[in-house]
Amino acid sequence: MDLLVRPRRLRGGEVLRKMVRETRMDPSALIYPLFFMDGENRAEEIPSLPGQYRYTVDRAAQAMDTVAAAGVQSVLLFGIPAEKDARGSQAYAADGVVQRALRKLKAEFPEIYCITDVCLCEYTSHGHCGMLRGREVDNDQTLELLADTALSHVQAGADMVAPSDMMDGRIRAIRERLDGSGFFTVPIMSYAVKYASAFYGPFREAAGSAPAFGDRKSYQMDYHNRREGIKEALLDVDEGADILMVKPAMSYLDMVREVKDATNLPLASYSVSGEYAMVKASAGNGWIDEERIVCEMAASAFRAGTDLYISYYARELAKFMQEGRIG
């Protein structure tokens, strides 16, 4: 048989396969989500996210030790307040749980890059991501509170803010508030293309953020839509976003590629709680090889165009990368 082109020539050994690998990954691209709650001297494992915990601020060192040891340099902070109200006032309180966690982390782990989730859902008594007018989320009223929240995070030490609420115009509102307060150099990572997804289920338990009524489909995106995702991304570029995000990751890699092709900003994707929980449950039953699945999921996101990967497996992935098992 006279074959001039043989793709298998470049698959003949591990050294050669790595030499010609198209997708390369590094621990610096990983971001690990962390949950902080009010209270003292507690670390609670999240039942639907085995191996993940809610920490009180005084246990920040425990939360960070494994992150730093793994070689992960960036964290994404979420807060769970003891008290909630209709306006989500603990989201932007100077002594709020995230604000206190930031001051603690910056004092004890100055080398860690701290990104904060900016949203009201964990802080409102009704569980929605914004202010209510009757039973509807009032977009424009919410913008002021989101800007207040972002500013309070930056004043407490946040290196970057990441609005996840999906209100129209929130990137501009936050950018103008930060710039008007002198924080011109603080980047915004926008949850630009965030779908109303069933994959968020375990997170809502972790953060206590399930809506008390209705759902979030009036502000998070319909998962049937592609062009709308590009529209959302381009709007956030125009409003001053520095990094864009697609969420969830695994079932939306087509959107990762679409947004990557349509914009020139760095792109993040979030491997969300439902993805993590499915892998953990399947691995716990002996149905899959956990390490190989986790590596394959991450590689698929980077192959699709991800620059930054937010994952509850970030610590393990950093280890796998450093040991040459992925990357």
Query: 176-182 long-range CB contacts below 8 Å, 24 or more apart?
Result: 176/147, 177/147, 177/148, 177/150, 177/151, 178/150, 178/151, 178/154, 181/151, 181/154, 181/155
| Nearest-5° Cα angle at 170, 165 to 173 | 145
List the one residue out of 5, 76, 13 whose CA is nearest residue 269.
Answer: 76
Q: Is 113 helix (H, G, I), strand (E, B) or coil?
A: strand
C-alpha 39/C-alpha 314 separation (Å) is 26
104, 217, 231, 247: the active-site residue: 247
Q: Is 84 a catalytic residue?
A: no
First to last CA, the chain: 36
104, 194, 260, 280: the active-site residue: 194
List the one residue out of 66, 94, 5, 47 whose CA is nearest residue 315.
Answer: 66
C-alpha 234/C-alpha 18 separation (Å) is 35
Q: Is 104 a catalytic residue?
A: no
Q: Which residues are catalytic?
A: 194, 247
